[in-house]
Amino acid sequence: MQLKVQSRVYFWLLSIVLLLLNTQSQAASRILDRIEIDSEAGANVIAVHFNVPVRYVSHLINESNSELGVQVRVGQTTDEQLGATTEQDQDGELDQEDQLTWSPSAAIPLDKVVFQGSRLGTSTLLVSFATPVRDVKIRQGRDFYVMEFVLPEQVKRSSGFGQARLKTLQTEVPEMKAPLSVKSLPLVIYVLNLGVQSEPVDYEEMPPVPIGENQLLYSTKGEIEGNPIYRLRLGFFRTKQDAKRQLEAVKSFYPNAWIDTADIVERRQAFFERGLEPGLDGQYMEEPELANVDPRITKMMEMIRRTITAGDYAKAVRLLEALLEEPDNIYTQEALELLGLSRERNGQIAHAKGEYRLYLEKYPEGEDAERVTQRLLGLETAPQRPKETLRKRPKPGEPGSEEEGEKAIWDVYGSFSQNYRRDKIDSPFVEDEDSISRSEIESFVDFNARRRSEEYDMRMKITGSYISDLLDDGENDTTLSDAYIDVEHLDSRTSAKFGRQRLRSSGILNRFDGLVLGYELTPDINIRASAGLPVERSRDTFLHEHKQFAGISGDFSSIFENWDASLFIVEQRVDGLVDRRAVGGEVRYYDPQKSMFSLVDYDIFHKELGIFMLQTNWRLENKTSLYLNLDYRTSPILMTSNALSGQSDPDTFLPIGSVEELQDFYSDDEIYDLAQDRTAKSSSISFGVTHPFSDTLQLSGDFTASKTGETPASGGVLATEATDTEFFYSFQVIKNDLLKQGDIGVFTLRYSDSDTSDTYRIGVSSRYPITNAWRVNPRLDVSYRENKENEGTRFTVSPFLRMDYRLRKDFTFELEGGLNWFEEDDGTEVTNFTDYFFYAGYRWDF
C-alpha cells in the first residue's frame, strides 16, 4: 500500500497513538511477535517471529492443503515475559491463544497464524492460507525464536503463484496426455472473469485465487473507446456447472466475478501469456507427423515436456542436450527453444541468451522466431539484480520514488480490529445484577511502516488497544505493546532502536522503554548497548521512573559449525538501590536431526543463580522426536524490588508501592534480605516423545515433574511452605479428519498430581475450513478434580465454538462463544453453576 493513499489513515492512526501514549493502563503480553516476508532464490519465505523460544516437533497439513498444524514446544521463560493475561489454573497448566494476521496475495496467500499454547506437552501453531498451497517447507530458526515457511519457486511459477500446480501423470508415452490441453478442450468453454482494470495484471500483488487442478490463471488485453483494458481470467471449465462451483470459491476475494466463455484463440494466447509454450502442454498445437520418427526420440520429448511442466529445469536441460545430440528431426527446433527456456528458468541467463541466439541463426523466420526474439530482448534489457521486495515499488511522483532523488521503497501495512466480549455467571451465589462480569469493546491497532534505500533500512511499529468497559463500575483501559523506530545504516553497519521494545539474548527480562545501539563488527558478530526503563509485568503504558537499567550484549553466529552464542551483562537499579546485576548468556546448537538451547543468568550482586535452562531435541531416522528439558530458576526472578511483596504501611495498612517508600521502614541491607526471603527456588524436568504413524496421524506423550521451595517469614510476611514434587502427564493425538473430513483435530488426555488436587482432563478440538473464506474451530474440554485437603470434587464441561469468515481480501468477521458448566461437591452440598462468554468482532487488514 503506497503512501499517497494513506494520508487519512496516518492521521487517524496518529490520533490513536497519541491517545495510547497519554493514557495509563495495562497491556497484554503476546507469544507471537510479528510476521516478516522475504524472498530466497526465487522462493517466498514466511518468517513467524516469537517472543519466547520455540522448537519444531512435527506437522500435518489438512486435506485441502490450506492449513498447516505445526506442533512446537515452547521454552520456559519468566512470568513477566508470558504476561499477566495468561490464565494459570490450580493444576499448573498454562493455556494461551494468540494470533497474527496477514493480508493474503497471490504471491503470499497467508491468511493468519494462530498459536494454541500449553505448558504441558506440545503447543499447536496453525498456519492458515487463503488458497491451497503445496510443497511448503518448514525450517527452524537458528535462534529458536523464528519458524520459517518456504513456498518453493516451482510452486509459485507453475499456475497461480503458490496455489495450484499442473499435475504430471507418470505413465508411458504416447498414452500420456498433458493434464491441461488446448486441443483436448471443446471449441467453446467457460472461464471466470475475475476483474477488469486499466493496468497490466501484477500476479504478485493481486488477491489470491483458489485454483483447482488443471486450471490456469491468465489475463487478456483489449480496448474500450481506444483505452486499454486488462481482464484477469481463470479457466478452463468444460461445463457451466463446473464454472459456477468455482465462482462460489472466489467470491470472497473477487465479489464481482462472473462467468464468460473463451474460444480457442484466447486459450492459445493464455498458454503463451503464462509461459506455457507449445511443448509444455503437449497439445497446444497440432502434433508433428510421427510416421518417420524414432519412437525412442518421441518418448524422450514427452519426458522432457513432463519434466518442464513439473518445474525440474536442471533435469530438463540435461535431457534436451541429449536430444539435440541426435540427428536433426521434427523435434529439433522445439527442443532448441525449450533448452533456452529451461536455462532461463534455471537461472543460467548467459547460457539462455546463447541458446536463443543459436535458435535465431538456424530459424530466423516465422512466429516462433518472433517469440524467441522477444525472450532474448527481455533478457538483454532486464536488470540482473535480486528482488528487493514483494510489494510494489512507488510509482513516479510518489513518496520514495526515484524522482525524489533517492532510491527508496516504502511498505506500510497492518490491521485494525474491534470486538465485543460479554461474560455472564449463572450461580446461586451471584445476584442477577452482578451476573454480568464483563461487557466491553476492544479496539486494536497494529501499524507497521518500513523504508528501505541504498543507505538506510528504517522500521516503525505501533501495537496497542483501547478497551471501553460498558459496566457501570467498569474502567476503560489502554494497552501499548510496541511503539518503536528502528534505523539501520547499511554502510557503517550501525543501528539504533528507540521506543517500547524487546531485546532478546540480552539479560533484559521484559519489554522496556529505551534505546538500543548496535554495531556489526563482522557478519557473525553483533555488539549492542542498551539503556532504558523496564516495563513492569509487560503491561504498564506509562514510564516507570523508579527503575532504570543499562547493559551490553553480543551475538556470535557460527562460532563453530551449527553453534551460536550470546553473552550479556546488565545492571538494573530501583530507587537508587541495585535491583539486579546479572551476567550470562545463551548457547544454541541446531542441525536437522538435533537441537539444543541453554540459558544461564547469574546475579553477581545477590550472588544467586537466577536461571539455568537446558532444552534438547532429537529427531530419529524413523521421524520419532524426543525432547528433554531441565529448568532451575528463582521464582520470581530475584530482584531487590521483590522485597515489596506483602509489605504494607503499618499506620494506614495500605500496600507499599515503591522501594523508596520501603526505605522509610528498613535499611538498605534489610531490604536486600527481604528480597531474598520473598524469592523461592523452583526446578522442573520434562521428557516427551512424538511419533508420526502416517502423514495424517501423530501421537505424542509428555511427562513433567516440578517442585517449588519454601520462603521464610520476615518483615511481617508469613512463610510459605515448599511443595511436594508435582507430576503432570499428557498424551495427544493429532490427526487429519478427526471430527470431520478435511479438518486438523487434536485429542488430549491429561493427568495432574499436584500438592492440592488430582485432576483428570479430556480435550478435543478441530479446525476445519468449510470454504476458502470460512473456518470453524469447535472445542470441548471435560475435567474432574479431586481435592486432597478435603473430600471436595469439581466436574467441569466446557464446550466452545469459534468461527471466522473473510468477507473480502482485507476484511474478516470473527465469532466465538462457549460456556463452563461446573458441578462442585464440598462433601456436604452439591452446587451447579455456569459461566458463559460471547465474542464477536471484525478485522481490517491494510
Over residues 385-410, the mean pLDDT reads 47
Is residue 252 in some structural domain?
A: yes
Is residue 228 in some structural domain?
A: yes
Q: Average pLDDT of the chain? A: 78
Over residues 724-739, the mean pLDDT reads 88
* pLDDT at position 224: 67
Poorest-confidence range of 344-353, 615-624, 640-649? 344-353
> Between β-strands 757-769 and 774-787, what pairing exists: parallel, antiparallel or unpaired?
antiparallel
Q: How far apart are CA 597 and CA 587, in angstroms?
A: 6
Q: Are 757 and 730 in contact (CB under 8 A)?
A: no
Strand ranges (E), 152-205: 189-197
Is residue 115 in some structural domain?
A: no
Q: Which DSSP state fits 432?
A: G
Q: How far apart are CA 821 and CA 781, in angstroms?
A: 11
* pLDDT at position 363: 86
Is residue 191 in some structural domain?
A: yes
Is residue 206 in some structural domain?
A: yes
Q: Cα 446–73–535 angle (5° rounding)? A: 45
* pLDDT at position 599: 93
Please give the residue that has the higher pLDDT: either 159 or 215: 215
* pLDDT at position 366: 72
Confidence of residue 540 (pLDDT cuts 50, 70, 90): confident
* pLDDT at position 95: 52
Confidence of residue 188 (pLDDT cuts 50, 70, 90): low
Is residue 358 in some structural domain?
A: no
Over residues 806-817, the mean pLDDT reads 85
C-alpha cell at 71: 506442533
* Most trustworthy range by pLDDT among 244-253, 261-270, 452-461: 452-461
Domain boundary at 678, 698, 726, which?
678
Q: Are 232 and 106 in contact (CB under 8 A)?
A: no
483-512 pLDDT per residue, tens: 999 999 988 889 999 999 988 888 998 889
Produce one character per residue of 534-556: b if its CB has 16 or more CB atoms within 10 Å, e if not: bbbbbbbbbebebbbbebebbbb
Over residues 393-398, the mean pLDDT reads 45
* pLDDT at position 273: 58
Is residue 365 in some structural domain?
A: no
Domain range enclosing 647: 640-678
Residues ≥6 apart with Cβ < 8 Å to 353: 376, 379, 380
C-alpha cell at 213: 487442478
27-86 pLDDT per residue, tens: 334 688 888 887 666 678 888 988 888 888 878 888 777 888 888 888 755 444 433 333
> Between β-strands 189-197 and 54-61, what pairing exists: parallel, antiparallel or unpaired?
unpaired
Q: Which of 58, 48, 69, 54 is nearest to 125 (CA)?
A: 69
Q: Are 603 and 582 in contact (CB under 8 A)?
A: yes
Cβ-based neighbour number of residue 364 at 10 Å: 10
Cβ-based neighbour number of residue 694 at 10 Å: 9
Q: Are 781 and 763 in contact (CB under 8 A)?
A: yes
Q: Which DSSP state fits 376?
A: H
pLDDT over 50 at 153, yes or no? yes
288-313 pLDDT per residue, tens: 333 355 677 877 887 787 777 666 77
Confidence of residue 205 (pLDDT cuts 50, 70, 90): low
Compute φ and ψ for 838, nearest 5 degrees. -140, 135
Number of domains in the chain: 2
Q: What sign does the dihedral 8-10-11-17 (CA atoms) show?
A: positive
Q: Are 124 and 116 in contact (CB under 8 A)?
A: yes
Residues ≥6 apart with Cβ < 8 Å to 842: 417, 418, 419, 811, 812, 813, 814
C-alpha cell at 268: 492459445
Over residues 812-832, the mean pLDDT reads 89
Domain boundary at 678, 705, 730, which?
678
Is residue 728 in some structural domain?
A: no
Cβ-based neighbour number of residue 143 at 10 Å: 18
Q: Does the global pTM surpass 0.75? A: no
* pLDDT at position 626: 92
Cell 475450513 sits on residue: 769
Confidence of residue 115 (pLDDT cuts 50, 70, 90): confident
pLDDT over 50 at 6, yes or no? no
* pLDDT at position 4: 34
Domain boundary at 624, 652, 678, which?
678
Produce one character per residue of 660-673: b if its CB has 16 or more CB atoms within 10 Å, e if not: eebeeebeeeebbe
Q: Which DSSP state fits 179?
A: S
Produce one character per residue of 209-236: b if its CB has 16 or more CB atoms within 10 Å, e if not: bbbbeebbbbbbeeeeeeeeebbbbbbb
DSSP labels for 566-617? Answer: EEEEEEEEETTEEEEEEEEEEEEEE-SSEEEEEEEEEETTTTEEEEEEEEEE
